[in-house]
Amino acid sequence: MSEAEIVDGPVLIVGTGLIGTSIGLALRRAGVEVLLEDATPSVLQEAIYRGAGSMADGSRVPQLVVVAVPPDAASGELARVAQVFPEATITDVTSVKGLIVDEAIEAGADAHRLIGGHPMAGREISGPEAARADLFDDRLWILTPTGHESEGHLARVRRLVATCGAQVLEMDPAEHDAAVALVSHVPQVVASALAAALVDEPADRIRIAGAGLIDTTRIAGSDPQLWTQILRANAGPVSGVLAEVTGRLQQVLDALAPGPPPQGSQQRPEGQHIAPVTEVLDDGRQGHARLPGKHGATSVRYAIVPVLVEDKPGELARLFVAAGDLGVNLEDVRIEHVLGRPSGLVDLFVRPDVLEILVQGLTEAGFDVRA
Amino acid sequence: MSEAEIVDGPVLIVGTGLIGTSIGLALRRAGVEVLLEDATPSVLQEAIYRGAGSMADGSRVPQLVVVAVPPDAASGELARVAQVFPEATITDVTSVKGLIVDEAIEAGADAHRLIGGHPMAGREISGPEAARADLFDDRLWILTPTGHESEGHLARVRRLVATCGAQVLEMDPAEHDAAVALVSHVPQVVASALAAALVDEPADRIRIAGAGLIDTTRIAGSDPQLWTQILRANAGPVSGVLAEVTGRLQQVLDALAPGPPPQGSQQRPEGQHIAPVTEVLDDGRQGHARLPGKHGATSVRYAIVPVLVEDKPGELARLFVAAGDLGVNLEDVRIEHVLGRPSGLVDLFVRPDVLEILVQGLTEAGFDVRA
């Protein structure tokens, strides 16, 4: 990073949870002066102890204030810091933008120096203990300028993002809220509603669950209080997408209902009534194909080489050394799971152009390649 | 495996897709004679070419017939083979049990020699090309005796399962169907309905999708025709669970709806109306905690050690060698993803009792451990 891309300090961070503390660590990594503030003294102390910055004691005036508090408190804090620091650039990290920024301006924040932000990074755990200086490296960080801000303030927030190692993506606030409703907020609700069906079921039924249910409900472990605030703040866009998903589930329910008597005595719905079910599955497959990266679309972009290894220390190492010796970079690794336990089957993800080298090389080295 | 556990041949497999061909390969691995049959000559040839058995030409009478055809055809095939081979034990691999077995018996199959089966194994790809001899190793294979079968026939199907390397789990047919509706069929519908919402959305919105949406919709890539048949055959149990999930989504929708005027002018729903949303999220977290294995509950049973490595050949190997040198068995490995691409952050999953050894050892070896 060139000197010109580093944000000018001091930067005041209000709220030292996972995101606030990680921003502090990322800025300190670049040598930027960071001041920290949190309503809970022990949380603030933890962030300071981890090296995210020093306590804001009022002796230094920040150039930039980052509000990193939960959605219910965000607009109030934005308005408050705008009043306390009448010259500072102000931004936030809330996962909802339109309502938060509107409320902040209504409450007195100046539109010309307030730029909404949303770093697309997080972890399954929260608090300053989980913070990492590299949390934002190569991640997207959405900014939502409204056209009312001045160029100098916007440029400063862009430098904040660059200093944290992230890439700026600028979006209209309403467009941002529609996008996160689709890719983040509604998936959270759907995963939670599905996992909620497990609460009262006998353990013997849950016991046979495989990777399908486990992946589908992975994010259901998230913090209910935080997510309630997010959903409440983005109620409109979330309702739109959620109504569509719920409508499709109702379509499947209707198609699976037994027909009127005498067909009602038949347990299997008649063939001609089942088409709406196929339609939802077809559309789902098409929608799935539009997704970027990881194991879904990854299987298109990367070739997969399954190798069976013994489940003992050093075996994975032997495999990876062999791949390294062949000059092959492993893009991803997945260990297949059996009955909730890892099995000895390891999927190696590589670029298609090195597939042959890897398969041949591993086979010659005596590995049990299941290509 | 002792000689007594190996199933007596010949075994006839009707339908040589992924599951049928994999059963053939597993039986051949144990030296069992296998006869193969498929309505599509090219599919049958592929299975034979892969070594799953020889073509059934009528010259040999099977001891056991395994029907491995799609759900719509299963009961008809079970009744047909029961007539053709009046002494043979008969089983199937259909993911729905109650209706299929009932229909087969109604159509003339003898209840005393028909035992329903469902191996809990599969792959994201289908056909004999995807078959593997080890597909069932250490997997569950559910059998659903009804009490009408004779002990000798049941014992033979148990030996089939053991010969394929799987573990028998016996369940009541209706209980099986309720369980798979919960852990497999409804998750499929939910993942598909969610992914279907992506079909008509602008690419710019989908572009910001992260691991949450990708995991939640992973199984939406499945075969719509096959899944329509499964859902149709298990319509009752699926409807029950699906109605519950849909009801919870409706509960969230209702809570997110704007209140009556003048509250209707407020974009953010009032705090007192939001409790039903928190309830769904809370229940979802509780349900999620009941799930076995993989990364969800794994994080409870295993300790996670994040290590930052360079993205180049040999780097993962160096890390794994170091872990092996410490005598630590890696239970699982996860490479963190950034914007759909793998990052340099690798999570090592280990038993908690070796956590300290690993963290200390890797740190001393110069690794960038982010514990």
Q: What is the distance between the alpha carbons of residues B47 and B41, in angstroms, rounded to a whole number?
A: 10
Record: contact B210-A288, CB cut-off 8 A: no
Are B330 and A327 in contact by the 8 Å Cβ rule? The answer is no
Sheet holding B332-338, edge to edge: B332-338, B341-350, B303-308, B368-369
Taking the mean position of all CA atoms in its chain, how far away is CA A140? Answer: 10
| Residue A73 forms contact with B (CB below 8 Å) | no
Specify the residue for token string 């499929």. B188
Neighbouring C-beta atoms of residue A159, cutoff 10 Å: 20
| Residue B284 forms contact with A (CB below 8 Å) | yes
Q: In 3D, which of A284, A254, A197, A230 has the Cα closest to residue B247?
A: A197
* Sequence ranges of the domains in chain B: 3-171, 178-283, 300-369
A291-323: pLDDT as tens digits:
876 443 333 467 788 888 876 777 788 888 888
Distance from CA of B210 to the nearest CA of A (A): 8
| Residue B220 forms contact with A (CB below 8 Å) | yes
What b-and-e string marks burial along B5-40, b requiring 16 or more CB atoms within 10 Å of the CB?
Answer: ebbebbbbbbbbbbbbbbbbbbbbebebbbbbbbee
Q: Which spans in chain B are helix H? A: 18-29, 41-49, 71-84, 98-106, 151-163, 173-180, 186-196, 203-206, 211-216, 224-233, 235-256, 275-289, 294-301, 315-325, 355-364
Q: What is the dihedral of CA A20, A235, A187, B242, to 10 degrees?
A: 150
- The interface predicted TM-score of the complex, written ipTM, equals 0.81
Q: In CATH, what number does B300-369 get?
A: 3.30.70.260
| Residues of chain B neighbouring A230 (CB-CB closer than 8 A) | none
Determine the pLDDT at residue B271: 58
B178-283: which CATH architecture? Orthogonal Bundle (1.10)
Are A217 and B293 in contact by the 8 Å Cβ rule? The answer is no
| Residue B288 forms contact with A (CB below 8 Å) | yes
Record: contact A324-B314, CB cut-off 8 A: yes
Q: What is the distance between the alpha carbons of residues B91 and B11, in angstroms, rounded to a whole number?
A: 11
B34-77: pLDDT as tens digits:
999 999 999 999 999 999 999 999 899 999 999 999 999 999 99
Record: contact A317-B315, CB cut-off 8 A: no
Record: contact B192-A317, CB cut-off 8 A: no
pLDDT along chain B (371 residues), means of 10: 84 97 97 97 95 94 97 96 97 96 95 96 80 89 95 97 95 96 97 96 89 89 92 95 97 86 55 85 92 51 79 78 84 65 73 88 88 65
Record: contact B316-A324, CB cut-off 8 A: yes
B239-278: pLDDT as tens digits:
999 999 999 999 999 999 876 555 544 466 665 589 999 9
Start-to-end Cα distance in chain B: 43
Determine the pLDDT at residue B295: 40
Q: What average pLDDT does range A125-136 have in this prediction?
A: 88
Global pTM? Answer: 0.82
CATH class of A295-369: alpha beta
- Helix or strand (DSSP H, E) at A323: helix A315-325
Structure tokens at A219: 């994010």
Closest residue in A to B370 (Cα–Cα): A132
| Residue A217 forms contact with B (CB below 8 Å) | yes
Distance from CA of A59 to the nearest CA of B (A): 33
Q: Are strands A341-350 and A332-338 parallel, antiparallel or unpaired?
A: antiparallel
Report the topology of domain A3-171.
Rossmann fold (3.40.50)
Record: contact A232-B277, CB cut-off 8 A: yes
Non-local CB neighbours of B94 within 8 Å, separated by 6+ positions: B67, B71, B74, B100, B116, B118, B233
Tell me which of A25, A142, A215, A230 to substitute to probe the interface with B (most B C-beta atoms closer than 10 Å).
A215
Report the topology of domain A178-289.
6-phosphogluconate dehydrogenase C-terminal fold (1.10.3660)
| Residues of chain B neighbouring A246 (CB-CB closer than 8 A) | 246, 249-250, 253
Specify the residue for token string 């916007």. A154
Q: Are strands A89-92 and A114-119 parallel, antiparallel or unpaired?
A: parallel
